[in-house]
Structure 1
Amino acid sequence: MQRIIVEPHYLGSLEYFVALVNSDEIRLEVCQHFTKQTYKNRCYILSSGGVMPLSVPVSFDKRTPYKEVTIDHQQSWARDHWGAFYSAYGKAPFFEFFEDHFRSIWEQRHKFLLDLTTEMMTMCLKVLQYDRPFTLTSEYQKIPDHRLIDLRERILPKKPFEERDLYLPFPYTQTFGNIFVPNLSILDLIMCEGSRASEVLTRSSS
């Protein structure tokens, strides 16, 4: 039985979801201090202009744990994310099947980043037809339970996925370009492959 501990990611990468679906137990680290330049509040999709980052604006300081990070709704980020999503995937094969699921989450104006990320993660796992229950940490432990594989602060956008040996890209047909772009947000895979997305994830396991 494989158990992991990892922080919640916003519409996580394929690498992240490969780790989730290959685990029997998921512990989400929500007590560790929030850090910038991570997948915790950002993801990457494929637009007509290439890879596009989507970032949720948040409020925090150096000692704010993930679970207390709030979303800055003074910025029109949710509308912008929906617009980018529609522009990138409006003509994708499975857009019409799932667009309302994601739009309804964006429209909820969550106070905390944690609520947004876990709801998006739950929705994606449901679409992928994976039943993967998760629990939240109640305190930060620098050295976690020895039965857990520690993936905290490991899956980072600034470090190539090839360094981590978690994800082996399995190409699928994307909406733009002739060269496959690996390790985008799970959104890209769901919109392009629909029910076959879970098969792609399985084949992407290193």
Structure 2
Amino acid sequence: MSQKIVIEPHYLGSLEYFVALINAEEVILEAQDHFVKQTYRNRCYIHSPSGKQSLTVPVSYDNRTRMKDVRIDYSQSWLRDHWGAFYSAYGKAPFFDFFAEEFQAVWNSKPEFLLDLDIEMMTLCLRLLQIDMPLRLTDDFHSSTEKGALDLRNRILPKISFDQRDLYIPFPYIQNFGSNFVANLSIVDLLMCEGPGAQAVLRNSTIKHERL
């Protein structure tokens, strides 16, 4: 890819999402568009003992709320639920003891806004991947991106399989449960299972292009 991309923030983004990030020269995060429900902005998928499990952050918004203004709803027990699911899924994973407290610290800090939670988790994951990637937020909304930037906004969606896009190809690694590999889970699955080897898996999961 090796170019500037514009993309919306995701909550503990998928491997496909992080493949897009690590192959860009610069990442611009769309913070000014209207919040769209049933997207990765406030959900992720992990590998639980019972299979693929969705984790969703409850939010408060209306049809006019911009992403930067979406507040997290702490009246619901999602923090306890997410940590419980996280522990159940990865408590015995090889790198849980190395990384878990850092994720827990972000959750426990209780960011008011979804954008802040997404960026804090994204920044943490990039650091654990040992990738130095500058992140920049949009100042205003534009339907088209600046010249030379690849527009990936609203392209990576839960309802559309990754194989319908041209970014990510599964590169299997040993997961915590079962013998059948589950592709394109949250980056936390890869980090907990592979630790320092996670970046290499992402590199091997990249579909090669001359230029997207």
TM class, shorter-chain normalised?
over 0.9
Deviation at 1:175, TM superposition (A): 0.4
Secondary structure in 1 aligned to 2:75?
A: coil
2:187 alignment partner in structure 1: 186
Q: Structure 1 CA distance, aligned partners of 2:206 and 2:188?
A: 18
1:161 alignment partner in structure 2: 162
Gaps in structure 2 of 5+ consecutive residues: 208-212
Q: How does 1:6-85 map to 2 (within 5 A)?
A: 6-85=7-86
1:112 alignment partner in structure 2: 113
Deviation at 1:183, TM superposition (A): 0.1
Deviation at 1:169, TM superposition (A): 0.4
Matched, 1:135 2:122: no
2:210 alignment partner in structure 1: none
Q: What CA deviation, in whole Å up to 9, does each residue of 1:132-154 have, x standing for no partner?
A: 00100010000110211000000
TM-score, normalisation: structure 2: 0.96
Gaps in structure 1 of 5+ consecutive residues: none
Letter in 2 for 1:6: I
Letter in 2 for 1:141: H
Q: Structure 2 CA distance, aligned partners of 1:24 and 1:146?
A: 14
Segments of 4+ moved more than 3 angstroms: none
| RMSD over aligned Cα atoms | 0.5
Deviation at 1:182, TM superposition (A): 0.3
Deviation at 1:52, TM superposition (A): 0.3
Q: Structure 2 CA distance, aligned partners of 1:168 and 1:103?
A: 30
Q: Structure 2 CA distance, aligned partners of 1:167 and 1:50?
A: 21
- Aligned pair count reads 206
Secondary structure in 1 aligned to 2:46?
A: strand
Q: Structure 2 CA distance, aligned partners of 1:186 and 1:137?
A: 24
Q: Percent identity?
A: 59
Deviation at 1:36, TM superposition (A): 0.5
Q: Structure 1 CA distance, aligned partners of 2:105 and 2:79?
A: 11
Q: Structure 1 CA distance, aligned partners of 2:51 and 2:17?
A: 21
1:3 alignment partner in structure 2: 4
